[in-house]
Homo-oligomer: A and B are copies of this chain.
Amino acid sequence: MVDRVVPDVIVSRLPVYLRALQFMQMQAVTTTSSQDLGSKVNISAAQIRKDLSQFGEFGKQGTGYNVEALIAHLEKILQVEKVWDVAVIGMGDMGHALTRYGGFLNRGFRITDCFDNDPAKIGSQAGQYIIKDVADIGKGDCLRGKMVMLCVPAAAAQKIANKLVECGVKAILNYAPVHLSVPADVRVQYIDPVIGLQRMAYYLHEKNE
């Protein structure tokens, strides 16, 4: 059995489909089509059908897809029917905001640990969490198998990333505005608002008076 690898681009679109489907479900929509879903995420119907066909046959000719069923399939494929433990590292404004964000649990994640290196913060409470010492990462507190949201300053990010890799962390959501060098089996997703703004600035016509 040749297990043909699903291209990255396709995988990266699945969460977008899932989010749109859950939005439909919230609005009590029970059925959709590649056409309909496509219009809601700005992706062609053909593309959506092609993407889904990588994983199975989830639709019915003539009627389309059952929203609830397709959600279940996508959650299974993305492995988010279970809930993953996530650690937040760096309890500045961003780290705090993330711990207070209510949108994780019903989408497959929960924050279990918070770390900082500031002695003034270590041991103190942040909502329901007690902030642990970054220095303890890799000691008793093993993060193996967990995901990490990295919210430390740019200058500290690579060093901590190295530590995380040593600890067996395989997925880092990086809020620090730097590229992280990690082994090929470790995934990194980048969130940098400035990158987003710059990508748009290119297209603006200088209306900035």
Measured CB to CB, the residues of A under 8 A from B are 11-12, 14-16, 18-20, 23, 40-42, 77-80, 82, 84-86, 93-94, 96-98, 100-101, 103-104, 107-109, 144-147, 149, 154, 168, 170-171, 173, 177-179, 181, 187, 189-209
CB distance from A109 to the nearest CB of B (A): 5
**Chain B residues whose C-beta falls within 8 Å of the C-beta of A97 in the assembled complex:** 93-94, 96-97
Interface of A is mostly: mixed
Residue pair A200, B179 in contact (C-beta under 8 Å): no
Copy tally for this chain in the complex stands at 2
- What is the CA–CA distance of A4 and B7 in the complex, to the nearest angstrom? 29
Residue pair B80, A208 in contact (C-beta under 8 Å): no
- Other than the given A19-B177, A191-B196, 7 more pairs (CB < 8 A) read A15-B194, A23-B154, A23-B179, A108-B198, A145-B204, A170-B204, A170-B207
